[in-house]
Amino acid sequence: MKEIKHTPVSPPMLHIHHQQLLEYMCYLFQVLEQLEEGIVVDYGTIDYLRTRSHDMLQASFRFQQSYPHVPEKIEKGLDRLHDLTRHVYDAMDSLISW
């Protein structure tokens, strides 16, 4: 009987990107809670959030380019993850230029 080799559908890079995005979102929500409570958030924090979101956006784009042939369900998930990252970056960019 011939052995069938299984190729993982989600490469480790996807897990790392997803984990980084989750950590970033947790930090982002902490900062947003501070803003909501009237706590002044320094420029450096907002700039850091913007820079990290840009880094993640670039990583997401590179990931999509590196794995062009994935199942449709995975591709849709990657597109949504990329869109979410883009929205976060746009929001941080708006805050920094405000």
Whether residue 3 is contained in a domain is answered as no
Whether residue 6 is contained in a domain is answered as no
pLDDT at 6: 45
Give the tens place of pLDDT for each residue, 1-37.
555 554 454 566 666 767 777 888 888 888 888 888 8
Q: Report the C-alpha gap between 80 and 7 in whole angstroms.
A: 23
Q: Which domain holds residue 50?
A: 21-97
* Long-range Cβ pairs for the range 62-70 (8 Å, 24+): 63/13, 63/14, 63/17, 66/13, 67/11, 67/14, 70/9
Whether residue 93 is contained in a domain is answered as yes
Q: Report the C-alpha gap between 68 and 97 in whole angstroms.
A: 34
Whether residue 9 is contained in a domain is answered as no
Q: Taking the model in full, what pTM does it have? A: 0.60
Whether residue 45 is contained in a domain is answered as yes
Other Cβ atoms within 10 Å of 21 Cβ, number: 19
Whether residue 47 is contained in a domain is answered as yes
pLDDT at 77: 77
Whether residue 31 is contained in a domain is answered as yes
Task: Provide the domain count of the chain.
Answer: 1
Whether residue 27 is contained in a domain is answered as yes
Q: Report the C-alpha gap between 41 and 50 in whole angstroms.
A: 14
